[in-house]
Amino acid sequence: MKRRALFGGAAAVGAAAVGGAALGAAATGANADPEPTGTRSVPFHGRHQAGIEMEPQAHQSLLALGLRDGVDAAAIRRLLTLLTDDARRLTAGRAPLADLEPELAAVPARLTVTFGFGPALVAAVRGAARVPAWLGPLPEYRTIDRLEERWSGGDLLLQVAADDPTTIAHALRLLVRDARAFASVRWRQDGFRHAASSHRPGTAMRNLFGQVDGTANEAPGSAGFDRVVWRDDPEPWLDGGTTLVVRRIAMNLDTWDEVGREGREFSIGRRLADGAPTTGGRASDDVDLEAVDERGFTVIGPSAHVRRARAGNDRQRIFRRGYNYDDASGTGLIFCSFQADLERQFLPIQARLAEQDALNAWTTPIGSAVFAIPAGVRPDGFVGEALFT
């Protein structure tokens, strides 16, 4: 089942609620939405961490921390306990201890704080021999990569997402404050999607090339999502966890501007208007890689992004949760990919795209990082607790 199908129901319910309120609101001219979206919260506890299997929030900041010299397993345990406590409160709309602006914590706006571990953190707790082989920098993709240190690596990732950027700023400030004795900020990447209220729930986002992005993702809540993303792992700290690849990909809008609409659609294999395959059908349909035109050429060309990204085998699936960026550093996509098995699911796709992908003419990876996303948190536990047992 695709995301459209899943969220179709939610959208219908939302429309019904708004429709009912609108009758009363029409007379007063008041806002038709009875409940501000900022009051919504996402459960922090569970088998999996929050912030992955859900409709993505409008804003997201990724914060990669670097552990300070001498920070050992006992200190990391204190750090994770502190940050878990902050996250637990903030995501429920409650102010953490010693929050001097508690009013800013009162609007959770679907805030989630998702923790990821880099190799140095795992090594500091368990020893270098126990760091999973896949947890480290990706192979170098010489044909495409122009990686910069300032967007790469990291020991502890905090993925902080919400529908309200004020909520994120406040959460980040408190998390950084409590981490300060143990770690310093290595990089921060702020991204956005459509504002929460500007589209119907479940509408796929558009990236800054204007493309509908995320169509082929498995729907949150589906069996397919479960298969693609969550790990069954003999290591308790990773059981119910996943892996995350973050790639900061610069997009050259000036040269993209030189491409006509047909060329743009050909480079992907999906239509700009609605994200439907160029082989026909609706946005929720899969692309037909075999379809040929009247001259016998495949409609979706050999270098089209979806052809290169889509494997013949069903194992190579990933869940993309990208965010746009557009700031003084440039314009692009903070590409985030979750997958249970990084080596089997992600690496073959990335290798094929590095070798050949029409999109490479306009895109340049400038940052790269890999994190282990540990299992979910118990109500009386802390993130990554099982690392210490």
Q: What H or E segment, with its residue span, contains residue 339?
A: strand 330-339
Of 178, 190, 213, 357, the catalytic one is 213
| Footprint on this chain of ligand HEM (rule: CB under 6 A) | 207, 209, 211-216, 247, 249, 251, 268, 270, 275, 287, 305-306, 309-310, 318, 333, 335, 349-350, 353, 359, 363
Pairing verdict, β 242-251 and 212-213: unpaired
Closer CB to ligand HEM, 84 or 279, in the complex: 279
Closest approach, Cβ 73 to ligand HEM, in A, equals 34
Closest approach, Cβ 145 to ligand HEM, in A, equals 11
- CA gap 161, 192 in Å, rounded: 9
Closest approach, Cβ 230 to ligand HEM, in A, equals 18
Q: Residue 244's CB: how many other CB atoms inside 10 A?
A: 25
Instruction: Identify the three-state secondary structure at position 285.
Output: coil
Closest approach, Cβ 207 to ligand HEM, in A, equals 5
Beta-bridge partners for 331: 326
Closer CB to ligand HEM, 221 or 348, in the complex: 348
Closer CB to ligand HEM, 240 or 275, in the complex: 275
Pairing verdict, β 112-117 and 156-162: antiparallel
List the one residue out of 94, 120, 110, 117 whose CA is nearest residue 174. Answer: 94
Closer CB to ligand HEM, 107 or 353, in the complex: 353
List the one residue out of 156, 150, 118 whose CA is nearest residue 137. Answer: 118
**Is 213 known to be catalytic?**
yes
Burial bucket for residue 97 (CB in 10 Å: 0-12, 13-18, 19+): exposed
Closest approach, Cβ 317 to ligand HEM, in A, equals 7
- CA gap 123, 121 in Å, rounded: 5
R_g of the chain computed on alpha carbons: 21
Closer CB to ligand HEM, 111 or 318, in the complex: 318
**Cβ atoms 366, 149 nearer than 8 A:** no
Give catalytic residues, as residue numbers. 213
